[in-house]
Structure 1
Amino acid sequence: MDRDRIRLPLLIGAVVIALLLGLALGGAGLLGGLFGGPDAKSIATSSLESMRAQNKLDVFVARYVSVTTARESRLGFSTERTLILPGDVRYVLDLSKLQQDDVKWDKGSSTLSVRLPDVQIAGPDVDLAHAREYGSGGLLAAFTNAEQGLDQANRAKAVADLRKQAMGEVPMRLARQAARQAVERSFAMPLKAAGFEEAKVVARFAGEATDTSQWDVSTSYENAVKEAERREAAQGQK
């Protein structure tokens, strides 16, 4: 996973909408104070509807590199092809799945609890411009269409491998953390604007454990290319 391509959620659109909503509710709260003050539940409900209207939200983006090798043997001859394929994966939170019973206000602790749908992955969006293919050649490659078949097999395996990497424990944990932070900010801003300065928002996924995020360490694109070139050079010396 390429750290330079990872971005934590900035949710600019959501924050702007929530801020405008909060300011409006805050102004209404001044008048409402004459009749008992603003209602946190109503504010949370309005925020929920605003977020649901946004539909799906990209909370996290990561780049991965897949290195796959396919081999074929016929009549005592063999050939192989290696593909290095980078691709970007987006982590998406489907806000339309949020329901009213997913949002609960505890007046005693001034805490708004939000239960989130799990993060989904979209992609990978493969970067064909930076893909690299290497082959061992030989008679089988020269006189048959073996290389074409190997390339097709490699591409299918590479896409599946990129998705598998994206579904790993660490990147999914980071994506969920980013989603929680984004949702908590979007609910907290209108509450605070309406005068609930002590309000806390806690967003959680069902059954999740304590978050202990750490960076994933995977093969970089540059290292993958160097390794493939080293292997091809070694084969050429045999």
Structure 2
Amino acid sequence: MGHCCCKPYNCLQCLDKTNESALVKEKELSIELANIRDEVAFNTAKCEKLQKEKEDLERRFEEELRRLGWQQQAELQELQGRLQGQFEMEMARLQEEHHSQLLRIRCQHQEQVEDITASHEAALLEMENNHTVAIAILQDDHDHKVQELISTHELEKKELEENFEKLRLSLQDQVDTLTFQSQSLRDRAHRFEEALRKNTEEQLEVVTAVQAPSTLEAWCPAQGRGFCADLLPK
């Protein structure tokens, strides 16, 4: 309640006005409270309705989610089946293509092998021909060198034989000369021995004659008497 701004004799009038104002205020508050209660009831009903709708939506969402899960599973299985079929078709195509490539590569390889074999055989034949020609050339060169060696050997042999014959003749001459000289020396030695022997005998005779003049005179022959007389002492 507000303060009274009237004079004391006017207090009742102010009080009535205050009560009237309070009643108006209370009525307004009652109306507002009723409105609030109605609004609360409306909001409560609306909230309950929304809760039911929420629960219904959640239930339908779960059902839809399960349905979508089943649908997705079915679609996945169908997709897997299609993909498996496509994979098998692609695998068969790739295998066929791979087989074709292998066959083509094998044919190319066979052709290359045949070409290489032909080239190798041609190279071998050429090498054999070159080898045969080289062997023939070497054989001719060898025969020529052998013939030259034989000729050189024959010439050297002939020269050696001639030199040997010359040396033999020279040695034979030397041998003959040495033989002659040896024979001459033997003859001289023999003569020297004979002279020495004779001289020795004569000396012995002289000694014997000195010791036995009569015997010496008897020993000396008539033709050697003069020599024996010379040996006698005077």
TM-score, shorter chain, exceeding 0.5: no
Structure number having the greater helix percentage: 2
> TM-score, normalized by length of structure 2?
0.20
Which fold has the larger relative contact order, with Cα–Cα distance below 8 Å and residues 6 or more apart in sequence?
Answer: 1
Higher gyration radius (CA): 2
Structure with a larger share of its residues in strand: 1
**TM-score normalised according to structure 1 size:** 0.19
